[in-house]
Amino acid sequence: MNTNGLAKHYALLSPAERLSLMLAAVVRGDDLEHARLIDSAPRVIFRVPHTFGRAMALREVCEQHRMEQLELAALFFGAQAVADGRMTDTARLLGYLMNVNVEGWQRFCEREQIDLTASTALMPGGEALRLAAKAVEGVAFTEGEVLEYAQRTKHSLTAVKTAESVAAELQATYQARVAWWE
């Protein structure tokens, strides 16, 4: 798409039109057009509390983590269904990942002094995650069993994801997003 001729009309775009064009440019990989649309957008000023950047960063990290947890839960239930309700190694591995992600989130929240319940209380998927957590109780691999599974299946693991590594990833992402917002 040749957008050079359209560029002179960018000042007339509504916010909705501009956003639509920006998304289309991203999808087709047109970084130049995306940058032109951003640069030509009128600027507005907002007054927000000084916690705004941190709140936005937390929201982003929380939403991403919740989506990953829901994906793991769906994969766990799918693996279990394929195996006619029996626990397979795949389901047990997914259960392990669900568990370390839950514990990693808890550690992240503790370190940031964020109320664990408040961080996800209004997000969808809570009941599905409670059901998944109940389903993996007592059947999920332990860290040692993950290593045994990797050896048995000839998977080369450089490291096993742990609650600590999840917490560290969350922390790094959060700090990067805080820096971006602030």
**Helical pair 143-152 and 89-112, crossing angle rounded to 10 deg:** 140
- Please state, rounded to an integer, the average pLDDT across all residues of the chain: 91
Give the number of other CB atoms < 10 A from CB of residue 59: 13
pLDDT of residue 7 exceeding 80, the answer is: no
**pLDDT (0 to 100) of residue 5:** 67
Mean pLDDT (whole number) for 91-109: 96
Residues 43-47: contacts with CB within 8 Å, 24+ apart? none
pLDDT category at 10 given cuts 50, 70, 90 is confident
**pLDDT (0 to 100) of residue 4:** 63
pLDDT of residue 152 exceeding 80, the answer is: yes
**DSSP assignment of 107-171:** HHHHHHT--HHHHHTTSTTHHHHHHHHHHHTTTSPPHHHHHHHHHHTT---S----HHHHHHHHH
Q: Greater confidence, 126 or 7?
A: 126
Mean pLDDT (whole number) for 30-36: 93
Q: Where do the structural domains in the chain lie, given as residue ranges?
A: 6-40, 52-181
**pLDDT (0 to 100) of residue 31:** 94
Mean pLDDT (whole number) for 147-174: 90
pLDDT of residue 11 exceeding 90, the answer is: no
DSSP reduced 3-state for 4: coil
For the chain, give the percent of residues with pLDDT over 70. 96
Give the number of other CB atoms < 10 A from CB of residue 57: 20
